[in-house]
Structure 1
Amino acid sequence: MKRPLRALAAASYLGLLALVIVWEGWLAPPTPVPRAFWMGLKALPLLVPLYPLLRGGGRAHVLSALLVLLYFSEGVAVAYTDGRREAWGGVAYGLTQTALAVAFIVSATFYARVIGRDRPVRDSSGMEP
């Protein structure tokens, strides 16, 4: 059960990172602010927990799920606002970002829960019973 959850979490996280880089680097509509600024602002927070996440740490999965909630919120907002403006590229980006965020949050939460059950219970002194 651990292996598929960890694989889904890693795939959706890396997919979200790739989506943000591709969108902000090439596909996003032009803005007065340089693309590199937006790419750095959105991609760097995803790079911080990447190494411990790929190593399979339970805490990294939980903290990354909290971080990805921001990307879920942005995806919903982009899909809604671009849908009202009939900018279908932005709608596709927002919906894809939202779907990847939901997939990661669910799989990372269940993965952390499953590996948490496998760890021995310790009492208040730090010793196993």
Structure 2
Amino acid sequence: MIKNLRLGASASLIALIFLCVAWEGWLAPLRPTGSNLILKALPLLIPLFGILKGKRYTYQWASMFILFYFTEGAVRSYADKGLSAHLAMLEVLLTVIFFTCAIYYAKFTRPST
């Protein structure tokens, strides 16, 4: 179970990084030449190695950190049109998967008292 939670969190975080780069790079950027919003993928690299290594503390704080991306996806899925709205819904889905895996991983790896 813990292995599956680590896999789910890792896969969804990596997929979210690739989604952010592809979305703002060439799939549906705000400007035809690309967007500086591609830089929103950089903060996702901060928790990546802690998540991949299974560090409980990283799972704890990253579960709150990911909510910024959930909020962006929810707003843009409502406000944007076409492909950008669909990509925003995918962003919401990936953040929900990550959040769920992260909080349960933190719960199940809690030291017994």
Structure 2: stretches of 5+ with no match in the other structure: none
Larger radius of gyration: 1
Residue 126 of structure 1 corresponds to none
CA distance in 2: counterparts of 1:26 and 1:33, whole angstroms: 8
Aligned residues: 113
CA distance in 2: counterparts of 1:30 and 1:78, whole angstroms: 11
CA distance in 2: counterparts of 1:50 and 1:120, whole angstroms: 26
Q: Please give the residue correspondences for 1:48-127 in structure 2 after superposition, counting only pairs within 5 Å.
A: 48-82=46-80, 87-116=81-110, 119-121=111-113
CA distance in 1: counterparts of 2:8 and 2:38, whole angstroms: 24
CA distance in 1: counterparts of 2:27 and 2:41, whole angstroms: 15
Residue 47 of structure 1 corresponds to 45
| Percent of pairs with identical residues | 35
Q: 1:32 to 1:21 in 2, by over 3 A?
A: closer
Q: CA RMSD in A?
A: 1.7
User: One-letter code of the match for 1:6?
Assistant: R
Q: How far did 1:49 drift?
A: 1.3
Q: How far did 1:120 drift?
A: 4.3
Structure 1: stretches of 5+ with no match in the other structure: 122-129
User: One-letter code of the match for 1:39?
Assistant: I
For normalisation by structure 1, the TM-score amounts to 0.81
Q: SS at the partner of 1:46?
A: helix
